[in-house]
Amino acid sequence: MTDAVFRDLVAAAARPYRPCGRYAWHFARGKLGGDPVFRHLMRHPVLPAGGRLLDLGCGQGVLMALLRAAAERHAAGGWPPGWPAPPTGLACQGVELAARRVRTARTALGAASVRQGDIRDVPLPASDAIVILDVLLYLNREEQAAVLARCAEALAPGGILLLREADAEGGLPFQATRWAERLACAARGRPRQPLTYRPAREWAELLAKPGFAVATRPMSEGTPFANTLFIARRVS
């Protein structure tokens, strides 16, 4: 995927956030353009072509905005030859706890795009894909395991869970990740927010318990952080 085309996709995905104010628009552009996980999902066909996708802890919904922009570009005939086709038949819905982010997502993507709720207890409908990006660190160890078990129950055999978390054995890049998150929590007015990290190997073991087959990929390219993407497929 060329840089120019990806920049166009990011710009198209961020455009619906303009009515939400400058912060929401700039955040969408910065997050989609600077976080390597979004480019990865465009370059590699890990998401199913259709079905239901749940984005748990979706924030203002930027992943759903990117998937929508990619599907629209593909439908218009502007998808470059040789690229894997984007998932054009996914029905996407987010779940987000923070009311302000829910309002932003609904303004940008539609009233039905995001449900306000806590991923620890909100009902999870039967799904073909579930995405959790940088969210489980806010839960304690028992809650993390319980959420992953609930995801396994919501996914049919063959369904996919994409989880991204920091690797607590990532050395100095992990320390950078941890301090950056501390600063982000302080900026949100929650400087004492408990954070629970695990080594990547432990995340993989935790995912295997409810019946996932797990592949891992480093997901920090272009950043100073120590993040890992876990591609977990429900097999039992």
Q: Which of 54, 79, 62, 48 lies closest to 15 in space, CA to CA?
A: 62
The pTM for the full model equals 0.96
Which 3-state string (H, E, C) describes the chain? Answer: CCHHHHHHHHHHHHHHHHHHCHHHHHHHHHHHHHCHHHHHHHHCCCCCCEEEEEEECCCCCHHHHHHHHHHHHHHCCCCCCCCCCCCCEEEEEEEECCHHHHHHHHHHHCCCCEEECCCCCCCCCCEEEEEEECCHHHCCHHHHHHHHHHHHHHEEEEEEEEEEEEECCCHHHHHHHHHHHHHHHHHCCCCCCCCCCECHHHHHHHHHCCCEEEEEEECCCCCCCCEEEEEEEECC
pLDDT along the chain (236 residues), means of 10: 84 97 97 96 93 98 98 90 90 97 97 96 97 98 98 95 98 96 92 95 97 96 96 92
